[in-house]
Structure formats: structure tokens, C-alpha cells
Chain A
Amino acid sequence: MNLAMLKPGEKGTITKMGALGPLKRRLMDMGLLVGEEVQVEKIAPLGDPIEVTIKNYQLSLRKREAEGIAVEVVK
């Protein structure tokens, strides 16, 4: 399960950061760290990018960027 697969309203806990190099660093700098809870808020009208809430603020990222973030769905 990865972040791009969550539906709006669904929450997940990050279990692994699959990205590499600058992309991974940027995601981590924005607060996407293993163990964090992240909720998908919206999907853009054209289907990409997505909006998530992380560390109490809103972040948008493309699905391709979200695919590398493994999550475990939180009920």
C-alpha cells in the first residue's frame, strides 16, 4: 500500500520511504517521515496531484512522488 493509493479521507502511517536522493530528502524535509500519520484530503480535478495533511499542514504532491511512500492504512 502506498500513499498514492489512499482515497480522499483515508489516513495512513508511513512505514517506509522508498524514494531516493533529492526527492527523498525533500519529502523528509516536508515532514514525511517513517511513523508519521498522513491523511489524503483531495485529488486535483484532473486526477493528479493529491493534497495531504501532514504534521498539521497541507501539502500537495504528484502521485508519482507519493508512490514511493509506503503506508499502512489507519482505521
Chain B
Amino acid sequence: MSVDVAELNSETSSGLGLGAAKRSVTVAVAGNPNSGKSTLINALAGTRLHVGNWPGVTVEKKEALFSFDGKEVKLVDLPGTYSLSPYTQEEIIARDYLVHERPDVIINVVDATNLERNLYLTVQLMELGIPMVMALNIYDEAEQKGYRIDVKAMEQMLGMTIIPTVATKKVGLQDLLDAALEAAADPARRPKELRYGEDLEAAAAAVEKAVIGAHHGLVERYPKRWLAFKITEGDERVLSEVNLGGIDAIVKHATAHLAEVHESDMETLMADARYAQAAGLTREVLRKPESKKKELTEKIDRIVLNRFLGIPIFLAAMWLMFKLTFDVSTPFVDWIDAMTAGPFKRWMEVLLGFVGASDWMVSLATDGVIAGVGFVLVFVPVIFAMMFFITFLEGSGYMARAAFVMDRAMHAMGLHGKSFIPMLLGFGCNVPAVYATRTLENQRDKALTALLIPLMSCGARLPVYVVFIGVFFSAYAGTVLWSLYVMGIALAVLMGIIFKRTLFKGDAPMFIMELPPYRMPSFRSLMIHTWEKGKHFLIKAGTYILAVSILVWFLLNLPWGVEQRKDSYLGRMGQVIAPVLEPLGFGTWEAASSLVSGLIAKEIVVGTMGEIYVPKAEEEKKNIPTFAEDAKEVGTSFIGAIRDSAVNVVSGIGISSITAQESLNEQEERSPLREVIKDQFTPLSAYAFITFVLLYMPCVVVAIAMKQEFGTWKWFGIAFAYQMVLAWVVAFGIYQGGRLLGLS
């Protein structure tokens, strides 16, 4: 039981009323999911928002610092919650923050079209005794429906200022901030203490007297009324935090009579009492028209959730999103790729030439740094596009429907309906897919989904398949390619079931999920969110990727003056690993080194093979373009990329460039490589090899994405380990099994 000194200090300073004008004002924003909280925050803080994670957990934390009316305002976005129970991560974060950090004021965002359930949270927030104001949001829709809300009466009953707002149109937001700062300036202005009925009040009073009366220290750490009711309610988390001997007996004594009379437990009685307050308030202030006309959401859902149409519509929507994500971004990816490999690299060479840098420095700068930077940038368009669509799906309300439609299938493998979308994105690129697990609320669902994503065969693996299929299986290329995708999915199902029974034993998380009305997300909010995510990736992941890229350069080029790839560190690693791969049919140092380099990205396996297998002499000498030509090329090709991106959206046919076309070119370019591969592999060992590439480990960017999403390397570690074992076992089975069957 430790008392945080800083907490006490902040308590005393606010207790003494030390000039609220001087201090910065901390404003916590709390509300139900789908109440428009994100939109409201984006509108208030815009690009000043800083997105991070709550310490130690995967829940997103948004904060913004800005000055308003001459005051420093610190805006903190609490996770969207329906209640303040001790059971979900979001609720624990929200309540711990409110109780222990004690913001100066709470802005409670309430959906005016769904008053009663939203007020259930309001009632709980009011127990905390922190100054509050309410944003009565989505007020436009409530008016449209003909709801009449008596705001004045509501203000009276709750003891707080209530501002009707339309977050999407920025209506009422200035007034809201004004009201919040005003409330914060006067800590004595607390919300009303709502009464929960004689019995409960008596029980809480008894608890208060017995527990809090005997331990004055508690009052410094907890709001008194809140604490009394939490103890009465039997809140696990508070009881274990407070950790007082004999408390159980006291609570039992105070509540036994109540529980007996009502034949119920205290948690239920409290929920009833709070909802009774919310219902009573709603009855007092809300007038609804009698009309029974069908609402838009209902009409749409009739089709979208229809027994027969539901799944086809869902699949069509997913196909569209997948295509948009990857088709919009691909031309930009190609452009970045071409630019960093071409003009930028040459400019750097020239520049370094001027300053008289030695060859190795030039190579480090171009093959290490520029290649690394290019590699980071390549992901940016995909991540931006993905974030945009995911945010759209969530904001519009369709994400919940997608989860509803798919849950049965995903639940079979221990996942949640919402896991489907990240898994699907995995076929394009595992990196945005891992970031997309953000839509899952539960830590277990998130982790399990992220663990299975690498089994979805991403676009970067295709070039490897294509080279080998081109050499050995060109007669039935489609079937072989298809077999790899299916194998990945089948193994994901299998691993999902295994993980469900082992690593994630215990109850599957609940599904209980609101199906919010369809709404149009605001473009501004979408853009802000997308930008924040993209920026976050660039800065955080970019640094790591760059470091790894440079590391690999060293692996390839050290020790100093290596002539033969075989003698470089990478080659030596290959030599060490090769015997382990022997039983899989490809136990050569060349194959092993190529696989090691695939840690960067699986497509690099082909590039490394090209370098290792094919003697240097065969590298062609190209005409080196002039600076002017280069500069022009940079510009025109960027315009070309925009055009291609637009064309892809409009035409919407075929999964275009990342994949097939490019791989075909690659295949032709590397014909010397094909000769060597023909020599070094048999059809059987080739199939074992591409299977191994499909399964063997997530690339480093996925690793970084997992670290970023989960705040720990743990999940990457587990993915790495199980995939290595899985890849080895499956490739072993294929190779040795095939040999037993007399294949070669």
C-alpha cells in the first residue's frame, strides 16, 4: 500500500485552490464507444494530438496540449467505455486515471440519441466528485428524429453544464471548452450526488463509517462516496488495492440484510440502482415522437445482415477494401522503390564522390542507409491507405456488422469476428495487418490474431514462389501457387485451435458488442487519424527498420574486405545453419544465407540468391543517367504514380502490380539465377523450400509492428519460435514424405 507523493501534492495544491489560472488544466474526456468521442477530440485538438499507448497495455492513448483562453490545456482521451467495472482493460484504465490522476474536469461525451445507456456511465462518473461538463453530442441526429431534450432541466438534475454539440460540424465545441475550464476553475462545483435509494445509501454509510472512518488515509487516495460504494458493491479491484484485513466481514455485515431481502448480490443491486437513475433522468428530460417509421439503419441492416445476402455483401465489401488499400498504395510504393534504388542512390554516390568518400562508405550510404530509408517509406502508403479504410469502417458502423457476420467462423478458431479483417489484410502485407488488430478490444483476441497473421501469405512471398514455380512447375503453376495459400490458411486454423487450447486456455472473451447506427465519419477526423498513425509508424518503426537494414549491410560486408559472399558474416551464418536444413532438401549455405536475409522481407530471399548464386561478372552495366534526367524522372514518375493509383481505383480489376507483373519481370531478369536453381534444387526440394519461405518467420517489419502494438517483444518471440518449428516440420514432412513416395 504505497501512497504516491506526487498524487498527494497535486491533491494539496488543488485543495488549497492554488491559482487554477497558473496551473495547466487537465481535461479528461470520457464517454461510451460510438458516442463521437474521437471525432470530438479530433475537432478540439486536431493535429496537436499525440497518439501513444497507455503504459504497459495495448490500448491507444491520445493526448493534446494546447492553450485556450490564455490557459494551458492538457486534453486526455480516456478509452471509450460503457461502465467503470473492474473487468475490462479499458474500464480499468479509465477509472484508474480518474481516481488516481484526478483530472481537473471531466468532459463526458454523451450520445443524445441513446440517452439512457450513456447516462449510466454519467451516473458512475458523477460518483467521483470531479467537476464535470457534458457534451450532448450527435445532437443533430436527435433533433432530426424529433427528440426533444430538456437541457435546462437536465443541468439542474445533474449539477453540471450541458452543451449540445455536433462534433462532425464543430458545433458547440468552443462553448464546451469554455464550460470545462470554468468548471475546472472552481473545484467546489461538483456534480450532484445522486441517491441510490435508502437501503443502498444506508449500507454505503455503514461501510463508510466502519472502513473509511478507521482509515483516514484512504480519503486522500480515493473520492469518499465512490470508495464507499465500490466497497459496498464488492469491487474486486478496489478491495485488493485497499487491502484491509477484516473488510470482508464489515461489508458482509453492512449488506447481508439487503442481499437477503432482494435475493440478489450487491453488484446487481448497484447496477439496478444506477440504471434506475439513468432511466429516471431520461424519462424526465426526453420527449420522443410517437412515429414508428423505419429508421435508415434498420433498413440497411435488413439487407446487410440478411441471412442470404449478409455474407456475399461482406465478402464484396472486404474485396473492395483490400483492393483499394493495395491498389491505391501500390503505384506509390513502386515509385518510392524506383526512386530510392535509382536517382536518390546515384545522387548520394555523386555527393559522396565529391567529398572523397571511400567505396565502402558509399556502399554503406547507398545499400545500407538509402535502401533502408526506401524500405521504410515503401510501407507508408500501404499503412496510410489501410488506416484510412479501417477507420472508415469503424466510424461508419460497418465494422461491428462485419464482426457480427463473421464471428461464428472466426470463433471456431478461437478468434473474434473482428479478427477477419486483419487476417485478410495479411494477404497483401502482414505489416498493416498487425496494425489493424487495433480494432480488436480484447488483449487475448488481439494477440492471437497477430500470431496467426504471418501465416497469411503476403505479397512479398510471391516473388519467391514465382521464381521456383517458373523453374519447376510451370505446367501447373496455378495449382502450386494456390496450394501455398490454402496451406497457410489451413495451418492458421490449426494453430488457432492449438493456441486456443494452450497459450490462451480459459474462457474465450465475450462478444457482447453494440451495433451502432450507421453514421457518416467526418473526413477531417479520418484524415487526422490516418495521419497520426502514419506518422507514428514512420518515426517509431522507421528507426528500427533503418537500424536493421544497416546491420544487414554489415553482415554482408564484414569482416573487412571479404571477397567471397561465403566468407561474409551472412555467409558464415548460412554455413552454420545449413546442416539443420539438410533433412528438408536444401541444406546448402547459399540457401540458408538467403533465408537469413529474408528476415528483412521475404522477397529479399530472391535478391540474395541472385547475388550469391550468380557470379558478379554477369551484372550488366547500365547507362547512367544525368542529374537532370534523374530529376525529371522523379517528378514525372510521381505524377505517373498518382495517375496509376487513380486508375486502379476506377478500373478496379485484378490485383495489380505488387505481385504478378513485377514477379514476372523479376523472373526474366534473373534467368542466370534460374539456371543455378535448376541445378541446385529438385522439384521436391523446391516445393519444400517455398513452403519453408511461406511459413518460417515474420519479417522484421512485422516484428516491429508487433512490438509497437503490444509494447513488448513477447508476441514476436512466440511467433518466431512457433513458425520456425512449423516451417521445419512441414518442409520436413513434404521432403521426406515425398521421397518415401518416390518423388524427387
Contact = CB atoms under 8 A, between A and B. Distances in A.
B83 interface: yes
Contact of B408 (A26, A27, A46): A46
A31 B85 contact: no
Interface of B: 82-83, 85, 87-88, 114, 116-117, 120, 267-268, 271-272, 275, 297, 301, 305-308, 310-311, 400, 404-409, 411, 417, 510-516
Contact of A31 (B117, B306, B307, B407): B117
A23 B515 contact: no
Nearest to B116: A55
A65 B510 CA distance: 8
A42 B300 CA distance: 13
Contacts of B272: 33-34
A27 B512 CA distance: 8
Contacts of B511: 49, 60-62, 65
In this complex, the interface size class of chain A, counting residues with CB under 8 Å from chain B, is: 20 to 34
B512 A30 contact: yes
Contacts of B400: 60
A44 interface: yes
Looking at A23, A29, A61, the one whose CB has the most chain B CB atoms below 10 A away is A29
B310 to A, nearest CB: 4
Contacts of A46: 311, 405-409
A25 B409 CA distance: 26
Given A44-B408, A60-B514, A62-B407, 15 more contacts: A22-B510, A25-B87, A26-B85, A26-B88, A31-B116, A34-B272, A44-B305, A45-B311, A46-B406, A46-B409, A47-B408, A59-B515, A60-B511, A61-B512, A62-B510
Nearest to B114: A57
B82 A29 contact: yes
Given A57-B117, A60-B404, A23 B310 contact: no
B267 A25 contact: yes
Contact of B407 (A33, A34, A44): A44
Given A44-B310, A58-B515, A60-B515, A31 B267 contact: no
Nearest to B270: A28
B82 A56 contact: no
19 contacts: A23-B510, A25-B271, A26-B85, A28-B275, A30-B514, A31-B117, A33-B275, A34-B268, A44-B310, A46-B406, A46-B407, A47-B408, A48-B411, A49-B407, A55-B116, A57-B114, A60-B400, A61-B512, A61-B513
Nearest to B297: A58
A56 B308 CA distance: 27
Contacts of B267: 24-25, 28
Nearest to A31: B117
A26 B515 contact: no
Contacts of B83: 25, 29
A59 B404 contact: no
Main secondary structure of the interface of B (DSSP, over half): helix
B404 A29 contact: no
Contacts of A27: 512
A41 to B, nearest CB: 8
A45 B512 contact: no
A28 B510 contact: no
Contacts of B515: 51, 58-60
A3 interface: no
A60 B418 CA distance: 13
B114 A44 contact: no
A17 interface: yes
* Pairs A-B, 10 closest by C-beta atoms: A46-B408, A29-B83, A45-B310, A22-B87, A58-B515, A28-B271, A62-B511, A48-B408, A61-B512, A29-B82
Contacts of A45: 305-308, 310-311, 405
A67 to B, nearest CB: 13
Nearest to B302: A42
A24 B404 CA distance: 21
Contacts of A17: 268
A45 B311 CA distance: 7
A58 B87 contact: no
B120 A26 contact: no
A61 B307 CA distance: 17
Contact of A49 (B87, B114, B310, B404): B404
Interface in A1-51: 17, 21-31, 33-34, 42-49, 51
Nearest to A59: B514
A26 B510 contact: yes
A30 B117 contact: yes
A30 to B, nearest CB: 6
Interface string A53-75: 00111111110010000000000
A75 B157 CA distance: 36
A47 B85 CA distance: 30
B87 A26 contact: yes
Nearest to B279: A55
A51 B411 CA distance: 17
Nearest to A29: B83
Contact of B405 (A25, A28, A44): A44
B305 A25 contact: no
A29 to B, nearest CB: 4
A20 B511 CA distance: 15
